[in-house]
Amino acid sequence: MKFLTFTLCLTIAFCTGVSAQNYAVLMQESPAGAGEIQPGIGVHTFGINQTVTLNTVPKKGYKFVYWLGDVSDPSANRTTMSVDGPKIIIAVFTRDSYELPSANAAICQGPEGLFPRHDELGSLPSIPSPPDEPDDPDDPPPVPEPGTMILFSAGVLALRKRLHKKN
- Position 132 scores a pLDDT of 66
Range of the domain at 72: 22-96
Q: Concatenate the DSSP letters of all residues of the chain into one string.
A: -HHHHHHHHHHHHHHHHHH--EEEEEEEEESTTSEEEES-SEEEEEETTEEEEEEEEEPTTEEEEEEESS-S-TTSSEEEEEESS-EEEEEEEEEPP--PPPTTPPPP--STT-----STTTSS---PPPPPPP--TTPPPPPPPHHHHHHHHHHHHHHHHHHHHH-
- Position 120 scores a pLDDT of 56
- Position 107 scores a pLDDT of 58
121: in domain: no
108: in domain: no
- Position 55 scores a pLDDT of 94
80: in domain: yes
165: in domain: no
163: in domain: no
Local confidence pLDDT in tens for the 167 residues of the chain: 444 444 444 444 444 444 458 999 999 999 998 999 999 999 999 999 999 999 999 998 899 999 999 999 999 999 999 999 999 999 999 988 766 566 666 655 555 655 555 555 555 555 666 666 666 666 666 777 888 888 888 888 988 888 888 76
The tally of domains found in the chain comes to 1
48: in domain: yes
117: in domain: no
- Position 46 scores a pLDDT of 94
pTM: predicted TM-score of the whole model, two decimal places: 0.49
76: in domain: yes
- Position 159 scores a pLDDT of 87
